[in-house]
């Protein structure tokens, strides 16, 4: 079969298409976004009519995928790691209900927080939910594992978690394709009570889940990916998880290390494979991206005095992603002196694009707040979070999707005035709606500014559910129509926009200001596409 040069994200997407996927559900989030984008632009996906529309958030994405699984078809939901927090409720409960058609949930973790608020380790969710986890170490494995993950999911009637990290998600390598499998036929679950988690049913299902979790670790679809490589040097043995294996092997280009190595890429795994390594070696080094999950487990299950080293004792840094150099140091390879970065090099943080509508919105907000001696506004997650940096330095929060609205309500309750939230359009429909409803119900004196650029900008310009709907949504939630104000963030309306903001700051109830101007990036892409289309017509 043909070989393709694919990102880890794309390898998972293509694996899903070739394994008979019928529905893909996701909310954009770095580093997971390209999974859905690949499926959206795939010719095969279009021809087969694979469902591939963005969801409002990760929770709705996972629930919709579960609905497709209910009807017997294979479904995938993809999100960044913190997205799995949003989807945690259906994720954990879907393990209890079990599935019908194969269900894969992909969580893309971002250790070192290249584009995230934390570096939580999604493998934790696997253990927490009693769901098997695949953690591919390279692009080919990512592709191949999708087939086994769907099969495993259907055999054990359980959702499967795919955990990847930034470097695999966003790194390209050649992937060999298999012949595609047909989609599964529509068929409802044989037990229609399966998805009814009334306590009596849930207790029975939970008990079954615990026993499934114990038995699936011996299944070949999981165990064949865990690999033991023996070595003569018994002073040390190394356990690698996921891509840590590559960083280890990188340091032994000629024939590999002389000590035993256990490569783990699926969970749960039987204790025996760990013991194969531990009973041979004087000490064990654990290399894993993210949290010291295996390391902690190892410290728990071993009753001898084996020395265990890893993130917990400082042999590997406690936080941040791994790389070949960190691993080299941990296995005792000395490094040569390096060039240093000269002092003349200054930091270059990301900034608003030239002509970005958010920047004009914030310029107006800064002016409008001056008479109130305000310390700033609550904000949210998106490009507009960059207003935390100079020269704006006006936002005082970025916690989770939608938190600007609800934090503004709480702070208003405590006496803050004006209590202002600035949230993007896509973030608002992701998780701001329910907070706004809270504000309406208690008539909270807050001003919610929706900085609407008509897209999900930070992740590269995906379709926003809010576009063209914001006024009606706010009105439908009960905001008084006269306090839903629409402005255009352009220099020429600067004075008007300040006045409108101040009018609403002075209003002792819920007001929403919708500040709409198309993202400069999507606008320029649209203009280019339109001009080349027009050229085609000539």
Q: Where does this chain bind other proteins (CB under 8 A)?
A: 5, 7, 30-31, 33-34, 114-115, 167-168, 170-174, 243, 245-251, 253, 323-325, 328, 335-336, 338-342, 344-353, 383, 386, 458-460
Q: What's the chain's length in residues?
A: 538
Any idea which residue has 């359980």 for tokens? 158
- Residue closer to other proteins (CB basis): 239 or 243: 243
- Residue closer to other proteins (CB basis): 4 or 312: 4
Closest by Cα among 77, 104, 98, 95 to 19: 104
Could you tell me whether strands 484-487 and 511-516 are parallel, antiparallel, or unpaired per DSSP bridges? Answer: parallel
- Residue closer to other proteins (CB basis): 179 or 335: 335
- Residue closer to other proteins (CB basis): 30 or 406: 30
Q: How far is the CB of 47 from other proteins (least distance, A)?
A: 22
Q: How far is the CB of 109 from other proteins (least distance, A)?
A: 13
Q: How far is the CB of 342 from other proteins (least distance, A)?
A: 4
Q: What are the phi and psi torsion angles at 273 (to 5°)?
A: -70, -30
- Token pair, residue 18, equals 């070739």
Contact 83, 112 (CB under 8 A): no
What whole-number distance in Å separates Cα of residue 89 and Cα of residue 66?
A: 12
- Residue closer to other proteins (CB basis): 185 or 253: 253
- Residue closer to other proteins (CB basis): 79 or 222: 79
CA atoms within 13 A on the CB side of 137: 21
Could you tell me whether strands 266-267 and 133-134 are parallel, antiparallel, or unpaired per DSSP bridges? Answer: antiparallel
Q: How far is the CB of 287 from other proteins (least distance, A)?
A: 12
- Residue closer to other proteins (CB basis): 30 or 497: 30
Q: How far is the CB of 329 from other proteins (least distance, A)?
A: 10
- Residue closer to other proteins (CB basis): 249 or 403: 249
Contact 239, 294 (CB under 8 A): yes
Query: CA dist 399 to 381, 402, 515, Å?
Result: 8, 8, 22
- Token pair, residue 98, equals 């079990």
Q: How far is the CB of 220 from other proteins (least distance, A)?
A: 25
Contact 167, 243 (CB under 8 A): yes
Q: How far is the CB of 286 from other proteins (least distance, A)?
A: 18
Q: How far is the CB of 338 from other proteins (least distance, A)?
A: 5
Output DSSP code: residue 337: -
What whole-number distance in Å separates Cα of residue 168 and Cα of residue 322?
A: 12
């Amino acid at each position: 079969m043909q070989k393709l040069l694919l990102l880890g994200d794309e390898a998972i997407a293509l694996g899903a298409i070739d394994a008979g996927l019928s529905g893909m559900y996701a909310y954009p989030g770095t580093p997971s976004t390209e999974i859905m984008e690949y499926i959206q632009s795939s010719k095969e996906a279009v021809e087969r009519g694979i469902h591939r529309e963005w969801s409002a958030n990760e929770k709705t994405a996972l629930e919709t995928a579960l609905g497709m699984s209910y009807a017997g078809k294979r479904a995938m939901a993809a999100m960044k790691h913190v997205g799995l927090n949003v989807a945690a409720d259906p994720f954990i409960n879907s393990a209890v209900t079990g599935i019908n058609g194969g269900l894969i949930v992909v969580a893309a973790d971002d250790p070192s927080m290249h584009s995230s608020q934390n570096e939580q380790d999604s493998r934790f969710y696997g253990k927490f939910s009693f769901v098997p986890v695949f953690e591919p170490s390279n692009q080919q494995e990512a592709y191949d594992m999708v087939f086994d993950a769907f099969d495993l999911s259907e055999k054990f009637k359980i959702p499967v978690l795919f955990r990847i990290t930034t470097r695999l998600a966003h790194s390209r390598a050649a992937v060999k394709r298999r012949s595609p499998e047909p989609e599964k036929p529509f068929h409802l679950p044989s037990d229609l009570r399966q998805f009814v988690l009334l306590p009596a049913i849930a207790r029975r299902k939970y008990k079954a889940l615990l026993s499934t979790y114990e038995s699936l670790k011996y299944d070949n679809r999981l165990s064949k990916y865990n690999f033991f490589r023996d070595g003569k040097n018994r002073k040390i043995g190394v356990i690698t998880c996921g891509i840590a294996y590559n960083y280890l092997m990188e340091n032994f280009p000629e024939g590999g290390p002389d000590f035993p190595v256990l490569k783990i890429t699926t969970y749960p795994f039987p204790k025996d494979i760990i013991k194969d390594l531990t009973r041979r070696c004087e000490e064990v080094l654990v290399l894993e991206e993210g949290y010291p999950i295996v390391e902690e487990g190892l410290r728990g299950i071993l009753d001898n005095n084996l020395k265990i080293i890893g993130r917990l004792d400082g042999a590997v840094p406690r936080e941040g992603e791994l790389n070949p150099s960190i691993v080299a140091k941990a296995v005792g390879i000395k490094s040569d002196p390096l060039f240093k970065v000269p002092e003349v090099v200054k930091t270059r943080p990301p900034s608003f694009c030239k002509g970005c509508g958010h920047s004009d919105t914030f310029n107006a907000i800064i002016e409008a707040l001056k008479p109130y001696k305000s310390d700033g506004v609550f904000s949210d997650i998106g490009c507009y979070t960059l207003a935390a940096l100079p020269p704006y330095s006006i936002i005082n929060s970025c916690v989770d999707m939608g938190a600007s609205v609800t934090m503004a309500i709480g702070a208003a309750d405590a006496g803050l005035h004006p209590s202002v939230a600035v949230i993007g359009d896509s973030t608002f429909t992701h998780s701001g709606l329910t907070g706004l409803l809270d504000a309406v119900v208690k008539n909270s004196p807050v001003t919610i500014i929706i900085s609407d650029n008509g897209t999900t900008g930070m992740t590269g310009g995906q379709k926003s559910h809010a576009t063209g709907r914001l006024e009606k949504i706010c009105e439908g939630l009960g905001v008084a129509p006269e306090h839903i104000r629409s402005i255009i963030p352009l220099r020429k309306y600067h004075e008007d926009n300040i006045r409108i903001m101040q009018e609403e700051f002075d209003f002792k109830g819920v007001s929403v200001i919708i500040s709409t101007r198309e993202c400069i990036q999507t606008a320029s892409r649209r203009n280019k596409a339109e001009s080349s289309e027009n050229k085609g017509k000539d």
